[in-house]
Each structure stands twice: as structure tokens, then as C-alpha cells.
Structure 1
Amino acid sequence: MTQAELDQQLGRWARMGYGSRGVIYLVIGGLALLAALGERGGQTTSSKGAMLKILEQPFGNVLFFLLIIGLLGYSTWRAIQCFKDPDGHGSSGKGLAVRTGLLISAVAHTALAFWAAKLLIGAGSGGSLQNGGNGFLTTNLGQIALGIAGIAVIVTGFARIYKGATARFEKYMNIPSDKRRWARPVCQFGLIARGVVWLIIGWLLIKAAWLASGGEIGGTSEALAMLRDQSYGRWLLGIVAAGLFSFGIYCFLEAAYRRINCSIVDPGQNR
């Protein structure tokens, strides 16, 4: 296989990864929207919960396997983005921060894929999504690490909101002009909603650090539940849930129209 053929295969794998992430967010957003509407089967859940729901469907094992392959492809592309910098983020402080975030994303999605693979072959922990072994997080050093992580997540949340509000995602995508009219607001809505969820998760992490309650770390499911429990919670949950569903559509648009170059030499050419 030539280098060009390998790069083409990696590009297809990365697009499959964007699609897999889109499926997960469609499920998360759809279930949360049903919960906001008070419909049967609605619930607030996380990426793992969404994948478990997919596993319960007809041909769930096949769909689950395809999601695992896609997540590994997405992780590989994230690693390429970090180390080869095809988007031209550079080596400035801001650029290194973005590339570090891409590496963290690669690690997180790899971990999710391996969790799913273990579950598929029967070696996983079943439907348990609870955190275990978090004794370190209740120590002074663990609280500091958790607080720093919370601040980083909040910064990332604001970055997602900014990316959505300014439509900066368009510089990395080739969306056809006939689709841009509806695609742009959908993508913006999705990114902003996801940013809001990240802000809440960051707050939950800081709260856990402050209270030394490392065993109660919140994620997407807890963030959505927190929205639901507020005044006008069903409205808030419904809006954010619709936004997360829109983020799933955004992921599908990335799968179709994202510029993906796995063999770039000059990081500045895609700026």
C-alpha cells in the first residue's frame, strides 16, 4: 500500500469516527429531549450510557462493534491532529493548548473504545457507570488536580461556545453553499449547547474538589440532570438536549465535509 493509499484509508477511518461520535450525541440528545418532554424512555445519560442503549437495540452487537471501530478511527485522527498539526495551530501558547486538548480527546476516545470492546466481549463492568477507585481524588493533591481539571474543562466550554458563536468551524470544513444556510445555525447551536454542558461539568469537578468528594464526579449525565432540577428545568433541559442533538448532526457534517489531510508537511497551508 502506497503512502497516498494509506492516507486515504486513514481519512475514511477518521470520517467514520466523526460519524460514530455523531450517533452517540444523537442518542444523548434524543434521550434527554424525551426526558424534558416527559416521554417514556427519556433519560439523561453519558456517552457510555448512550452506547449501552445502542447495544440494547436489534443488531446492537453489530452497531456497537462499528461504533468501536469508528471511535478508534476518531482517536487516531485526533492524535494526527495533535502531532502533525494539519490544521495549522502552530507552537504558540494557544496552539499548544489546542493540540494538548486534541491529545486528551484522543486518549479519552481510545479509553471509551476499549471500555466498549471489553463490554462487547463480556469482560466489561456491565452497565455500571459509577466511578471507582477514586481515593486519590479525596487527598489534598487529588483535590488540587480535580480543581485544575475543572478549570480546564470550563475554559474548554467557553472555547466551544466561542467556536460556535463565531462559526470558526467553517474554516476547517467545505460545506456546499446550498447546505450552508441551514448547516451553519445547526452547527452553531450544537457547539454552544455542548459548551454549556462542559461549563456545568467543570463546575461539578470544582465542587467535587472543594468538598473532597472525588467519588461523586459529574459528567454529561449529571450535568443534564442538574439542568433538569433547576427552575424551568424542563425547558432548560429541552433546549440543551436539542442542542446536543444538533451537535450530533454537526458531527455528521464533519464526517462528510471536514478537511482531513493525514500526510501534511507544511502546517501552515490549511490556515
Structure 2
Amino acid sequence: MKLSAIGLEHLARAGLAARGAVYLMVGGLAVLAAVGSGGGVGGGGSALRSLLGHPLGALPLAAIGLGLVAFSAWRLTNAAFDGDRHGASPKGLGTRAVHVLSGIVNGGLAVTAFSLAFGVGRRGGDNDAAQDWTAWLLTQPFGRWLVAIVGAGIVGAGLFHFWKVWRGDMLKRLSVPPERRHLALTLGRIGYAARGLTFLIIGGFLLIAALHSDSSEARGLGGALEALREQPVGWALLAVVAAGLAAFGAFGFAQARWRRIEALDLGDARQTIDALARRASA
């Protein structure tokens, strides 16, 4: 039994465009801050808050929130039913787990967008959220190990981004017209490199938080960008990485336009469950 690709396509394209818009705002605001022309350094939540100062800011917030809900739903459904055919190997399951995490994170960002649109979430920074869930994890059994595992996973995701940059395979699931491939690939490479670097920084801070058992060490995307600005010639580092994040946002619109969306086979989820059960009993 298969789920139609039509509904999934709407979810995916709306979601990829919404995520692209968020990264464009994050990168654009940080570039302006780096060159001293206003803007601000922060993560997705801070970028969304910047819309509150504009007329009718609640409307784009609500639209982005809906798009992020669509992205989250698509990511979770695609991971569950293996829409991209990653399989049930350790590598495939790891990739699907990352997609689940992406769905959860963007679902949380959607909640932020809606709360801001309706005037109930105007306080708190991006680092607050990272520190809050890190503090919660630290209170759990083996909490320091849990935080370390998450941090190592994010570092691994950052390294995977650089691997994709080196291979240049970020277009393999896109049907890009030949005359647009060079531009799309360039945006993808720059964007993945910048995003990979921020992942390495975020994961590194989580490893430090685990080592010291101190949630205040954790940082989100905004904290990672601030860490760059604190370095020698930090304004230049921030400007380059922020421009890269904006490129990743632009690449998100390319994904929204040209991503191939396949119908989902409900049997794939059953196959994954059976494979996990066999491994557990081995």
C-alpha cells in the first residue's frame, strides 16, 4: 500500500521554502551585524522575532509557522516510511534518525513562530532553549552521557555536511535544469559548508557542557555565531559564515522548487521494524 506523493509534495515544498526563509533571515541579519549596519546575531527564533518590528509581521510569522509544521510532518513521515530509500542499515537508520531530529527541531521552531504571531512568546533567546533542554537531559539517568551523545551526533552531522561539500552530491535528489545546476550546486556547497561549521561549534559546546555537567555551556545557532564573532577578526568570520547560511537559505528555495518527491510505501515501515527486531534479538 502506498501514500500518494501529491500531498507529500505540498508538505515538502512548503516546508523547504519556510526553512529556507528562516536561514535567509538568520544569515542576512548576521551579515548586517558583522559589517555594522544593524541586523543581529541569533538563531531561528531571533530571526523570527525580528519580524515583529514590521507592519503585519504576524502574517509572515504565521505563514512561516505553517511551512515549518509542513516541513516537520514531511521529515517525520519520510523518515518513518523511508521515502528516500535509505534502508535499514546502520548508516540508513542513522540518516533517518537525523531526519527525525530535524523534524522535531523545526516543529519546535514552528511553535515559536506561532507563539510570536499571537503575542505569547516574545522573550527568551535561542541559547535559552538549548540550555533548557540540556539542563533537562542532565537531570536524567546517565544525563552527562546523553548530552555527550547528542553533542557527538551534532558534530557528526557537521562532518557529514563537509563530506557532502567535498563530494558535491547535494543535487542528487533534485531535478535541476542544466542551465541552473551550476548556481544551485554553488549555493549548496557554500550553504552546507557554513551550516556544517555551525554544527561543529554547537556540538562542541554540548560536549563541553557534558564534560563539566553545566548546561550554561550549551549554545544554539545564535551562540555559535557569537562564538565566531568573539574570535580575532571575528567580524570577518561572522560575515563569511553568515553569508554561507544565507546561501543555504537560498538553496532551500532551490530544493523547494526541484526536489523529487516519491510516493511512500507503507510496507517500508514494517520492514524497518522487522529489521530492528532481528537486530535486537541477535
Q: Which runs of 5+ in 1 are unaligned?
A: none
Alignment root-mean-square deviation, CA: 1.9
Q: Which amino acid aligns with 1:122?
A: G
For the Cα contact (< 8 Å) 2:78–2:264, is it kept in 1? no
Secondary structure of 1:170's counterpart equals coil
Deviation by residue 1:153-208 (Cα, 9 ceiling, x = unmatched): 00000011111221222110011101112221111110111000000001111111
For the Cα contact (< 8 Å) 2:69–2:110, is it kept in 1? yes
For the Cα contact (< 8 Å) 2:208–2:217, is it kept in 1? no
| Distance in structure 2 (CA, Å) of the matches to 1:88 and 1:67 | 28
Task: Report the equivalent of 2:77.
Answer: 80
For the Cα contact (< 8 Å) 1:137–1:214, is it kept in 2? no
Task: Report the equivalent of 2:153.
Answer: 152
Give % identity: 33
Following TM superposition, by how much is the alpha carbon of 1:102 offset from its aligned partner in structure 2, in angstroms?
Answer: 0.7
Following TM superposition, by how much is the alpha carbon of 1:264 offset from its aligned partner in structure 2, in angstroms?
Answer: 4.5
For the Cα contact (< 8 Å) 2:194–2:244, is it kept in 1? yes
Match of 2:51 among 45, 49, 54: 54
Q: Which amino acid aligns with 2:163?
A: Y
Task: Report the equivalent of 1:10.
Answer: 8
Task: Report the equivalent of 1:43.
Answer: 40
Following TM superposition, by how much is the alpha carbon of 1:265 offset from its aligned partner in structure 2, in angstroms?
Answer: 6.6
Q: Relative to structure 1, is the Cα distance of residues 113 and 79 closer, same or farther in structure 2, using a 3 angstrom cutoff?
A: same
Question: Does 2:66 align with 1:66?
Answer: no
Task: Report the equivalent of 2:204.
Answer: 203
Structure 2 counterparts to residues 1-271 of structure 1, below 5 A: 4=4, 7-39=5-37, 41-124=38-121, 126-129=122-125, 130-131=128-129, 132=132, 135-139=135-139, 141-264=142-265
| Distance in structure 2 (CA, Å) of the matches to 1:264 and 1:56 | 45
Q: TM-score, normalised by structure 1?
A: 0.90
| Distance in structure 1 (CA, Å) of the matches to 2:215 and 2:137 | 5
Q: Relative to structure 1, is the Cα distance of residues 172 and 36 closer, same or farther in structure 2, using a 3 angstrom cutoff?
A: same
Q: Which amino acid aligns with 2:20?
A: G
| Distance in structure 1 (CA, Å) of the matches to 2:196 and 2:89 | 24
Which ranges of 4 or more aligned residues in structure 1 deviate by more than 6 Å?
Answer: none
Q: Which runs of 5+ in 2 are unaligned?
A: 269-282
Deviation by residue 1:74-131 (Cα, 9 ceiling, x = unmatched): 011101220121211111000000001111111111122123223333343x221224
Deviation by residue 1:230-260 (Cα, 9 ceiling, x = unmatched): 1121221111111101000110000000111
| Distance in structure 1 (CA, Å) of the matches to 2:262 and 2:77 | 9
For the Cα contact (< 8 Å) 1:10–1:73, is it kept in 2? no
Number of equivalenced pairs:
261
Q: Relative to structure 1, is the Cα distance of residues 37 and 187 closer, same or farther in structure 2, using a 3 angstrom cutoff?
A: same
Q: Relative to structure 1, is the Cα distance of residues 262 and 118 closer, same or farther in structure 2, using a 3 angstrom cutoff?
A: farther
For the Cα contact (< 8 Å) 2:191–2:246, is it kept in 1? yes
